Structures are given as structure tokens and as C-alpha cells.
Amino acid sequence: MRTISYSEAIREALAEEMSRDPRVFILGEDVGAFGGVFGVTQGLFAEFGPERVRDTPISEAALVGAALGAALVGMRPVAEIMFGDFVTVAMDQLVNQAAKARYMSGGKAQVPLTIRVATGAPGSAAAQHSQSVEGWFLNVPGLKIVIPATPYDAKGLLKTAIRGEDPVLFFEHKMLYAAKGEVPDTEEDYVIPFGQAVIRRAGSDITLIALGSMVQPALTAAEQLAANSISVEVIDPRTLVPFDKETILASVQKTGRVVIVHEAHRRGGPGAEIAAMIAEEAVQWLDSPIVRVAAKNVPLPYSPILEEYVLPSVSDIVQAVSNIATYRL
């Protein structure tokens, strides 16, 4: 396999799906000739033209509304939200329209809509351009939520999203765009089914569930903890909706201890839902409290020192795991 970046993997998925299906098109702010603010759509405008790579006004409400309308009449739009924080501007289109169209039409309306959301703290982008907002949408039935952590997953999961018949929120962490990993040659058309977690590292003492950008720090922490004879199993759920609870529960039954790490804020974050599921369905196997490692419950600071303090770190993960490694209820 080749080694390419996360952003290149996403670009390949877009190009391949656009070549495969003429109904697929891209729309968003500066996605055309400029190539996207993070360069993800670079070259696609030249390859596919302005009809299929469409620049929109600076209005998330307008671009998501247009994408939703296109999906309802048979197209397969891929809309880009430049900064995930501003998905709030399109909340009605997503939460009250896209998520409910199939249900309210008795299954007659399909919504093959993919929303690519650039998420997370890219380094001193301050409170309005740094949030991880995936947890906000867990309370909305009808939306699928995808959080790829590697180039391989980014490509395979995006192709699955585009080929599906339901609205998908596809969260891409900004700090992962340059991350590199192995991806099959372009001749190999692969997809990754939703709802299938992956065990990134096997272990026997602690189940460490890590989302998106926290997968690599979790693996680094697991390596450090191994030096202290603590065996950590690192699980990457890959999708929050649908969620692979079977893989999680099997690991919890083996280890009896759970730490959940994500960059979203701790209060009401996705870790809270995962912890509730484990408490409801696996309490008989637990030997310690479920611990969450996440961003502190304050707006993301501009100051690099304060931002580092607020965001979860490898040392935070090591400390959390160490605290419960020998705990007994």
C-alpha cells in the first residue's frame, strides 16, 4: 500500500466517487478554484469543472439547504463546512429537515447527503474556530456520525457515506489533515462499513476508547503505560452513529476498566453517552469507575499555553489510566 496524507485520502475518495457517479458533486465556501481553506479539494475544480465543484456564498444555512434539496431530488451532494463551529448556522436544515425527511415521508424520501465538517483545535484558532461539535448531534435521530482517525479510514468511510441513502456528518479533525498512513492503490475500490470499531492495540488491563484525533495520543499513552506493566487495549469506534457497542462490551468484559478520551468538552460530550451505555449494559464486569478524559468545560482559548492546558494530552491519559489500573469497586 501507499503512504499518503489524510487530506489526500479524502481528496481521492471525492474524485473517485465523482468519477464513478455523475450525481456526486461538491459545494462549499472556497472549495472551487481555491481548493478549500485546508487544501482538501485542491485540483478537483480543474478536473470536474464549476458545475460539480461549486463555490457558495458565505452562508452555511444556504449551502446545506441547497445540498439537502439536491439530495431529495436524486443528487448526491457533498457539502463542506469550513469550520465545524459554524454548523450551528445550518442547524435547522440538518436537525429539523435532513434528519427527519425519511421518517416524515414514511420512507419515501431518501437523503443521500454528506456533510464534511472540519473540526477540532488547529492551534490558536480561539473559541469560535476550534470546537469539536460531534456530541451535539448524538441527540438527533436520523443523522449518521463518522469520525475517522487515519487516512485509510477517512477514504473508506467517506466513500461509504457518499454511497449511502442517509445524511452523514463526516468529522475531519484539522490537525489530522497532514497525518500520513497506508492506503490501498487507487485501483482498489474499498469501503468501510459504518458501525464497525477497530482495535488499534490489544490489551488486557484497561479498555481505552479514543475518538478521532485522540487515537494517536491514546496509542502513545498505551506505549508509555506498557513500560509500567499496564496493558491497554485501544479501541477506535470510527463511527458514533451507528455505534459498535459489541466490540466495546467484549473488551470491557475482558479488562473490567474503562477510560474514554475525546477532544470535545467533557460535559455532555460523546464520552458521556458511551459511558452510560457501558454502565447500563456492562456494570457487572466493571472493577472501577468509568473515567473520561476530555477538554475542560471552558471555551477554547487563543493563548497556546492555555489551549494546551484545556485540551486533553498524553499525560492526562496516562494519569487517568494509572489512577484506575489497580482500583477495585
| Beta carbons of 37 and 6 less than 8 angstroms apart | no
Identify the helix (H) or strand (E) that includes residue 304.
helix 304-310
3-state helix, strand, coil in the chain (%, to 5): 40, 20, 40
Selected catalytic residue, list 129, 173, 262, 265: 129
Please tell me the total number of residues recorded for the chain in this structure. Answer: 329
For residue 240, give the C-alpha cell. 458514533
Distances (CA, A) of 81 to 49, 64, 78, 251: 20, 9, 10, 35
- Where b means 16+ CB within 10 Å and e means fewer, 44-83 reads bbeebeeebbbbbeeebbebbbbbbebbbeebbbbbbbbb
First to last CA, the chain: 46
| Beta carbons of 30 and 212 less than 8 angstroms apart | no
CA 290/CA 276 separation, integer angstroms: 9
Closest CA to 255 of 188, 201, 179: 201
129 is an active site residue: yes
Task: Supply the residues annotated as catalytic.
Answer: 129
